[in-house]
Amino acid sequence: RDLSISLGNARKLLASEGILMMLEVTNSPVYLDFIFGMTEGWWLYEDIDIRTEHATMPPDKWKTVLESNGYTDVACYSDFPENNVSCQTVVMARAEKLNIEANESDNEAKLAAGNWLVFTDHNGVSDKVIDHFKTLNKSCTTVEIGERYEEVADDKFTIDALSQDDVDKVLDFINRRGNFEGIIYAWGLDLLDRGLLSVETIEQGESQGTIMIMNIMKKLNETQYKKNPGIWVLLSGSQTVAGSPELINLSQEGLRGVSRCIVNEFPNYITTVVDFNDPVQDYEIEVFIDEIFAEDRVDELAFRGKKRYVNKLERISTDNIAQRAMKSVQAEGSPYTATISEYGVLDNIVLRETDKKTPASDQVEITVKASALNFRDIMIAMGLLSDEAVEGGLFGRTFGLECSGVVSAVGSDVTTLRVGDEVMATAPSCLGGFAYPMEVHCVKKPKNIDWNEAAGLPVVYTTAYFSLVHHCRLQKGEHVLIHAAAGGVGIAAINIANVIGAE
């Protein structure tokens, strides 16, 4: 109906200096009036001060209207040198640059009294954030998941995770308090881990993640603030960092994806997605508080212990790619892991360099001496295992279940192993330079077996032994039928049966 209103609404949706591109009829032939003139929308326009004679406009008129509505760098492209001759024209224009940089007064305000809205988790992370805020003279209003909207106390609410009205009430409340500084969204930390992923937990992730954060942004975008509050979305183990082979928490990926969209589509609200370790460590919370009141903000960052990681694009050359592809590293003591570029062909399995990581409190780091190749690895590489079969397993879609090696580092809670111990273990990504099993998944290697023999014991021989000896009580002289005996477990079963004296 009114181009000024429509172009103004479009400008609000664009990022800072975003590009608007339209394909418009700019020289309408008479027959279009006979076709589209039969529809109501062709005659609905009311901006007769702009479109004085017809629903369409020539390119030079589009340029004038766009510039008068705050657009710059307007350009019109058609298939004729003279734009006004062409029936259709591609019109492009740039939105204005938004001033979202903090100044000195903003930095001073960060250290003054202010109000924060905290969507609390049940793991204690948000509680520790609130404790830090109190020492900085910050007031916190907390929001927990409940069945309905309820004001539990002056600064505590419960809301229905799917209710837009409940979100609106809470945001209106804190806006009335004044000096609304920011939002800490920690509900994503309560999403269940990958081992419990199911249809129900995916739906939980949708309600506590995507729908809730979108409801928050909808209300924020409809409200005028003296200064827009900052937004911090907290996650845990939702992504890998620095090439680490760690498994990600898939239940948080929807929230992470929507948060990225918010960063791009709502540039007037400075939003940062923060990924902590799984579980979150106390030190990470301390450095996170420092990050909140730092002068510079980034869109995404991750904390892994005392290390801070930021997503950045790095320019590379094809020469560097070729050199890295041909690069060789020492097999023992080098950080690398087996991965695959495309499932279905064994030739696609490649070794890629990774960064060493610090073992978790209940883990040890093993310098791998030998790894076993199992039929499971072949099935994964060939794409024969479904997502349900892999994600429901112990180590996910990684190569290598068992290995032998020397302990090179231990976690803070490890008591039965120390650096230098020769062990055999089960762990994810054993086909690599280092493995990171839990302490309970390691046993010391007997002196009378070599590294290769030890690498096949934790899974293959243990499976065969448990089946034949512990479960079946196989005795000398008994007969045993072993199907698919050419595999690792089958060969182990043959050897164990021979030792027992079975036929």
d(CA 398, CA 427): 10
d(CA 489, CA 376): 11
Q: How many structural domains does the chain have?
A: 3
In terms of domains, do 384 and 298 share one? no
In terms of domains, do 126 and 67 share one? no
Closest of 187, 190, 263 to residue 231, by C-alpha: 263
In terms of domains, do 88 and 127 share one? no
d(CA 258, CA 391): 23
Supply 355's token pair: 């960064």
In terms of domains, do 192 and 150 share one? yes
In terms of domains, do 42 and 127 share one? no
Domain boundary (310, 342, 358) is at 310
CB-based contacts of 259-263 (< 8 A; 24+ apart in sequence): 259/213, 259/233, 260/299, 260/300, 262/213, 262/217, 262/231, 263/299, 263/300
Supply 39's token pair: 């529809």
In terms of domains, do 288 and 154 share one? yes
- Give 246's DSSP letter: P
Tens digit of each residue's pLDDT, the chain (503 residues): 888 888 988 888 888 888 999 998 888 888 888 888 888 888 888 888 888 888 888 888 889 999 988 899 999 888 776 656 678 889 999 988 776 554 444 455 455 668 999 999 988 999 999 999 988 889 999 999 988 999 998 889 999 988 999 999 999 999 988 889 999 999 988 876 555 667 776 766 666 678 889 999 999 999 988 889 999 999 988 888 876 656 677 778 888 899 999 998 998 899 999 999 888 888 888 889 888 888 778 899 999 887 889 887 776 666 665 555 556 667 777 888 888 888 888 888 888 888 788 899 999 999 999 999 888 888 889 988 887 777 666 678 889 999 999 999 999 999 999 999 999 999 999 999 999 999 999 999 999 999 999 998 999 899 999 999 999 999 999 999 998 888 888 999 999 999 999 99
In terms of domains, do 339 and 446 share one? yes
Supply 352's token pair: 């890629």
Is 235 among the domain residues?
yes
Domain that holds residue 151: 108-310
Is 488 among the domain residues?
no
CATH of the domain at 17: 3.40.50.150
Longest dimension (CA), the chain: 103
Closest of 189, 218, 180 to residue 119, by C-alpha: 189
CATH of the domain at 189: 3.40.50.11460
Is 295 among the domain residues?
yes
Q: State the pLDDT at residue 102.
A: 46
Domain boundary (284, 310, 336) is at 310
d(CA 466, CA 481): 16
